Amino acid sequence: MSSTTVPRDLPPTITWERDRIVLVDQTRLPELHRVEVTTVDGLVDAIRRLVVRGAPALGVAGAYGVALAARSAANGGGDLAGDAERIASARPTAVNLRRGVERALAAPDPLAAAHAVRDEDVAACRAIGARGAALLGELCGERPLRLHTHCNAGALACVEWGTALGVVRSLHASGRVELVVADETRPLLQGSRITTVELQALGVPHRVVVDGAAASVIARGLVDAVVVGADRIAANGDVANKIGTYPLALAAARAGIPFVVAAPETTVDAATPDGAAIEIEERDAAEVVAGADAWNPAFDVTPADLVTAIVTDTRTWRP
């Protein structure tokens, strides 16, 4: 493993090097620290501890995990199907994790399939960025925008470009971002620790707000649109994303500004009819408070009728 200060050009979130998975440790940001994973146990632990997080990144990690498991099984160690299921179930809400696992497991060459999942993620995110930038130009006008986002849906949640922050990047490249408001995103502060790292690296003007201030910022007219990612999108357009997203959608609806979800088409789960059918991960109470009981849901569900549009790599969907 290695550690350094964060460079202007962030490294890829996930790479395959010397027959192992190398991850940017997202629990250590804003310090840049890379971790080498050589076993299925190590990957499952990294997924559960949020060393790697974000639906697209989890899909790539899951596929590479199957490549690790296949090599172990070929050498007489481990149960490929059982190891694949352990990886797929490490975090239940994000559909991309299981999809990445299943794709690599079904392939004659799991490593080649994992590389394909990685490459497709990069291409998909760039397409999302362009499509989302065009949509916001249509909705808000061709002017510099003040955008509000939640958690982290940037390069570090994917491989190297991002979904919601991919839209920001595309807008920024054409001089159309005035400011990004980033929620700190409690309890693990993915907004203030991770999104700010990416925005600083990109040179995008930004401000962090505590989660409790987010709706008020919107109500005061300080932003023009809300752009977030997603961990699973149900067939009817209900969206599961990091806890705290639903209040943003309510505030945006009240203020009459767009609420846009940016995610790859692989995050749309036709087998899940609506948000009520999405399993919401409950994390350890110790992340919230020490020595007391707490509810700590990792995600919430935003109903489709609060979503202005869902932008994927292949379409703009207005559910």
Order of strands, edge to edge, in the sheet holding 32-37? 2-4, 32-37, 20-24, 14-17
Contact assessment for residue 243 and residue 298, using Cβ atoms and an 8 Å cutoff = yes
Which residues are CB-contacts of 119 (< 8 A; sequence separation ≥ 6)? Answer: none
| Catalytic residue IDs | 231
Eight-class DSSP state of 298: S
Nearest to 318, CA basis, from 255, 261, 247: 261
Cis peptide bond prior to 247, omega within 30° of 0: no
Give strand pairing partners of 226: 148, 259
Distance in angstroms (rounded) separating the CA atoms of residues 242 and 226: 14
Count CB-CB contacts under 10 A for residue 295: 9
Using DSSP's 3-state secondary structure scheme, residue 102 falls into helix
Among the residues of 239-318, which ranges form H helices?
Answer: 245-255
